[in-house]
Structure 1
Amino acid sequence: MAAIARMLVRRVLILIPLLLGVVLFVFIIMRFSDNKPEYAYFEGSNPTPAQIHQFQVDNGLLDPLPVRYVRFVGQLIRGDMGTSALTKAPVSSSIATALPLTLQLTLFGVVIAIVLAVIFGVIAAIFRDRWPDQLIRLVSLLGVAAPAFWLALLMIQYLAVDRGWFPTSGYINPADSVSGWLRSLTMPALALSLPVAAYLTRIIRTSMVEELDKDYVRTAIGSGLPPIVVVGRNVLRNALINPLTVLGLRVGYLLGGAVVIETIFALPGMGQLMITGVRNGDPAVVQGVVLTIATGFVVVNLIIDVLYLLVNPRLRSAG
């Protein structure tokens, strides 16, 4: 536990400048964007130059960039992401409403990807170079190459429009109907997770093959242990160490891919919120969504690092 605590402290200390760098990058990009808050604020009206200038003065938009950056970081520390120039509502409240759906979609996608990858990765490794392995490798290669948005469109056509198994769009709150919630998220989660599952399947298959060729596996099976026990208790656990690292990066892909998938399926999550912000020229909303997704990606990788340490006793001993 001491090794885990030390690693957590080091990682958190590293995260602080990393997050500040992410904030700086997003801040600068948004400052050079054509979407200006004064345009969104006076949307639908015909403001005079004096009114625009007064708005810029009142909101500190004419201050030097370093001053505005320091002020923005101070606001973020207090939990203030600014105010939407269009709706006049706090950005943090809009994100608090949209974020749970994106987290549900991402978590659902992660579970599907892990389950499919472990099942097919283990089968491919056990039947190495035989027809199940070759078939799984072919399908996983096609899955890696298939874009999530293309899979989403195919699912809408064949599973929703043609067969009516799932709704084409929309979201049902689990408090209203658990079955309706599952039906509304199944297709988006599948479209989001299948490329990740295909990629992880190949990684798990390779790791399993490497473990199965090691001496301790032959010794354990030769001593009379059933192969299923050796594979389930030792080989699979050791083989999942490398895929864990890959999973951290893929979760970031899921968070980013949710933006497109939510738009296709009309889900009121972070993706829809960001698209709405871009369409309405509301930079505060876009900035808040991007920062939230980036922070989530960093936190997920921290969690993956901890899991990596938990499943690898050699790293704990080294620590």
Structure 2
Amino acid sequence: MTAVLRILARRIALLVPLLLGIVLFVFLVMRFSDVDPASAFFQGANPTPEQLHQFRQDNGLLDPLPVRYVAFVGDLLHGDMGISVLNRSPVLDQVTTALPLTMQLTFLGLGIAVVLSLTLGVTAAIYRDRLPDQLIRVVSLTGVAAPGFWLALLMIQYLAVDLGWFPTGGYINPGDSLTGWLKTMTLPALALSLPVAAGLTRIIRTAVVEELDKDYVRTAIGSGLPPVVVVGRNVLRNALINPLTVLGLRVGYLLGGAVVIETIFSLPGMGKLMIDAVKNGDPAVVQGVVITTAVGFVVVNLAIDVLHLLVNPRLRGTS
């Protein structure tokens, strides 16, 4: 446990320059974009040049870029992401309102992807080169090739419009109705998770096949241990080390895919918040959403790294 804590502290220390770099990248992109915060603030009000100049001076927009970056980081450390020019409310309030829904969608999609990929990947490995493996291979390749937004539109058409099993969009808070929440989140989570599950299925299948071919597996089964016990207790633990790493990278896909999926299903999450901010020229909200999403991705990958260390003790002496 001491080794894990030491490695964890080292990883966290490395995250500091990474997060500063992410903030710097977002800061520079927004500063060199065509959106003028002063003009956006006075949107539709026909401000005079003097008013625009005064706004830029009051908000530090005329300061050198290094000074503005330091001030921007300082504001972030104090929980200040700026003010939305659209509704004059703090960006942090909008982010904290939209973030829970995006987290629900992301982790529900992640759970579905893990369950599906484990079930299909292990089944394909056990029945390799036989009919189940061939069928799962076709399904997984189709899933990898199918874009999430296309799956979302097909599900809306057939499962929501034609069959009426699910609503076409909208959101119900789980505190108001758990059944309603499941109905509104099932299709978005499926559309988000199926491409991820398809890719993970192939990776898990390959890893389990390689592990099944090792001598200790044949020895364990030859000594009388049931194959189910050998696979569940030994094979999976060793075979899932590499898929865990890939899973951390797939979280980025889930977070990015949520932008499109939330828009299609009219879910008031981070994705829809950013799309609306881009359409309405609200740079403070855009940078707030991007920074929050990037930080979330980094934190989730840190959690995957820790889980990787716990599952594979050999890494503790080499990391």
TM range (shorter): over 0.9
Alpha-carbon spacing, 1:236–1:14, altered in 2? closer, same or farther (3 Å): same
Give the structure 2 partner of residue 55 of structure 1.
55
Provide the rounded CA distance (Å) in 1 between the counterparts of 2:280 and 2:316.
50
Provide the rounded CA distance (Å) in 2 between the counterparts of 1:98 and 1:206.
38
Provide the rounded CA distance (Å) in 1 between the counterparts of 2:316 and 2:213.
25
Does the aligned pair in 1 maintain the 2:7–2:316 contact within 8 Å?
no
Give the structure 2 partner of residue 3 of structure 1.
3
Provide the rounded CA distance (Å) in 1 between the counterparts of 2:86 and 2:36.
11
Does the aligned pair in 1 maintain the 2:83–2:89 contact within 8 Å?
yes
Provide the rounded CA distance (Å) in 1 between the counterparts of 2:195 and 2:247.
12
Give the structure 2 partner of residue 96 of structure 1.
96
- Aligned-pair distance for 1:316? 3.0
TM-score, with length taken from structure 2: 0.99
TM-score, with length taken from structure 1: 0.99
Give the structure 2 partner of residue 308 of structure 1.
308
Provide the rounded CA distance (Å) in 2 between the counterparts of 1:141 and 1:238.
25
Give the structure 2 partner of residue 166 of structure 1.
166
Q: Runs of 5+ in structure 1 lacking a partner?
A: none
Aligned-residue sequence identity (percent) comes to 75
Provide the rounded CA distance (Å) in 2 between the counterparts of 1:81 and 1:179.
35
1:1-319 matched pairs, under 5 angstroms? 1-318=1-318
Does the aligned pair in 2 maintain the 1:39–1:281 contact within 8 Å?
no
Amino acid at match of 1:183: K
- Aligned-pair distance for 1:45? 1.1
Amino acid at match of 1:265: F
SS of the aligned residue for 1:169 comes to coil
Amino acid at match of 2:167: P
Does the aligned pair in 2 maintain the 1:36–1:282 contact within 8 Å?
no
Provide the rounded CA distance (Å) in 2 between the counterparts of 1:225 and 1:316.
30
Amino acid at match of 1:161: V
Amino acid at match of 1:222: G
Does the aligned pair in 1 maintain the 2:192–2:257 contact within 8 Å?
yes
SS of the aligned residue for 2:254 comes to helix
Does the aligned pair in 2 maintain the 1:84–1:91 contact within 8 Å?
yes
Provide the rounded CA distance (Å) in 2 between the counterparts of 1:27 and 1:311.
38
Q: Runs of 5+ in structure 2 lacking a partner?
A: none
Provide the rounded CA distance (Å) in 1 between the counterparts of 2:80 and 2:229.
53
- Aligned-pair distance for 1:313? 2.0
Provide the rounded CA distance (Å) in 2 between the counterparts of 1:179 and 1:157.
21
Does the aligned pair in 2 maintain the 1:117–1:200 contact within 8 Å?
yes
Does the aligned pair in 2 maintain the 1:40–1:282 contact within 8 Å?
yes
SS of the aligned residue for 1:171 comes to coil
SS of the aligned residue for 1:165 comes to coil
- Aligned-pair distance for 1:153? 0.4
Summarize deviations over 1:176-211 as a string: whole Å, max 9, x none. Answer: 100000000000000000000000000000000000
Amino acid at match of 2:258: A
Summarize deviations over 1:57-96 as a string: whole Å, max 9, x none. Answer: 1111111111100000011111111111221111101000
